Amino acid sequence: MYKVVTKRFLNDAKTICLFEIEAPLIARHAQAGQFVIFRLDEQGERVPVSVAGYDREKGTVSVMVQAAGRTTRMLHTVEEGDYITDIAGPLGKATEMDGLKKVCVVGGGVGCAIAYPIAKEMHERGIEVTFIAGFRSADIVILKEELKAASNKLIICTDDGSYGEKGFTTVFLKREIEENIEKGLPQFDRVVAIGPDIMMKFLADVTRPYEIKTIISLDPIMVDGTGMCGGCRVIVGGETKFACVDGPDFDAHQVDFDSLIKRSAFYREEQDAAAQHICRMTGGKRNG
């Protein structure tokens, strides 16, 4: 059993929540870019979620969870002092940072929660970090102060212009790249992008002509986290890889985004059906 030490909602819409959980062994070994898998109870499904932070002295690990499905909505009802049954990890490979001097980190929506610890560690290592955080609207903006502290330059943009600059992350990434060229500044050694698959696909299209290595973190359908179920397979450079053991970071210019996006939609009908389910015992709708 793992105790929830801290619970805090991160946005006005209360759709994204931070949980700090007692897990000494995970905290001892966790690194930015890795993930864990949790179960709320013995009958619960296994849900992968990125490590958003860790405190080795306190023996805690932090995760930021968006209420998107049945289990994540249930997790949002867990309070400080409560326990969850399982949390396994750290899993996956840590994000590579050695030798980098100037990086642009791009986060889309809840992807900013995953990108934040990566940017934070890079910044602490002395790497120059530009962070582009994109959201649909002001009510779901998260980690404003944390992202500012973890970067040399922070750009927050929203699709509707209700907070920060109006526009998509692709526009601002291209602007930053072009500005480096026009001003004769060093170009980004790397772009790290985390967010919706379609966003990462278009960001890869932006960086490809400039030959800037672009790394993305993938979160496809996953069950066991050891590569045995095969649910998280992705085509990279024409070869089959498994996000849980070979990733979650991959070269964006080598990823087959079309097959990735198609696979991610496999269970959309089941998810929609779960959301509309009416419980026979309570008469209420089950959040799926």
CATH number of the domain to which 212 belongs: 3.40.50.80
Check whether residue 165 and residue 71 sit in a common domain. Answer: no
Check whether residue 78 and residue 120 sit in a common domain. Answer: no
User: Would you list the DSSP string of 157-210?
Assistant: EETTSSSSEES-HHHHHHHHHHHHHHTTPPPPSEEEEES-HHHHHHHHHHHGGG
Q: Which residues share a beta bridge with 239?
A: 236
Give residue 282's pLDDT band: very low, low, confident or very high (50, 70, 90). very low
The yes-or-no verdict on residue 284 having pLDDT over 80 is no
> Is there a domain that residue 11 lies in?
yes
Residue-level pLDDT at 195? 92
> Is there a domain that residue 59 lies in?
yes
Domain boundary among 91, 116, 134: 91
Which two three-digit tokens encode residue 263?
């696979």
Greatest mean pLDDT among 242-246, 249-253, 278-282: 249-253
> Is there a domain that residue 199 lies in?
yes
What is the tally of structural domains in the chain? 2
pLDDT, tens digit, 9 for 90 and up, residues 126-139: 999 999 999 999 98
> Is there a domain that residue 13 lies in?
yes
Check whether residue 156 and residue 75 sit in a common domain. Answer: no
Residue-level pLDDT at 182? 96
The yes-or-no verdict on residue 278 having pLDDT over 60 is no
Using CA atoms, how far apart are residues 72 and 87, in angstroms rounded to an integer? 14
Check whether residue 211 and residue 106 sit in a common domain. Answer: yes
Residue 86 vs residue 204, higher pLDDT = 204
Range of the domain at 186: 102-217
Domain boundary among 197, 217, 237: 217
Q: What is the pTM of this model?
A: 0.85
User: Is the preceding peptide bond at 90 cis, omega within 30 degrees of 0?
Assistant: yes
The yes-or-no verdict on residue 246 having pLDDT over 60 is yes
The yes-or-no verdict on residue 14 having pLDDT over 90 is no
> Is there a domain that residue 263 lies in?
no
The yes-or-no verdict on residue 217 having pLDDT over 70 is yes
pLDDT, tens digit, 9 for 90 and up, residues 28-55: 999 999 999 988 888 778 888 889 889 9
Check whether residue 146 and residue 44 sit in a common domain. Answer: no
User: Is the preceding peptide bond at 196 cis, omega within 30 degrees of 0?
Assistant: no
> Is there a domain that residue 241 lies in?
no
> Is there a domain that residue 242 lies in?
no
- What is the pLDDT of the chain when averaged over all its residues? 87
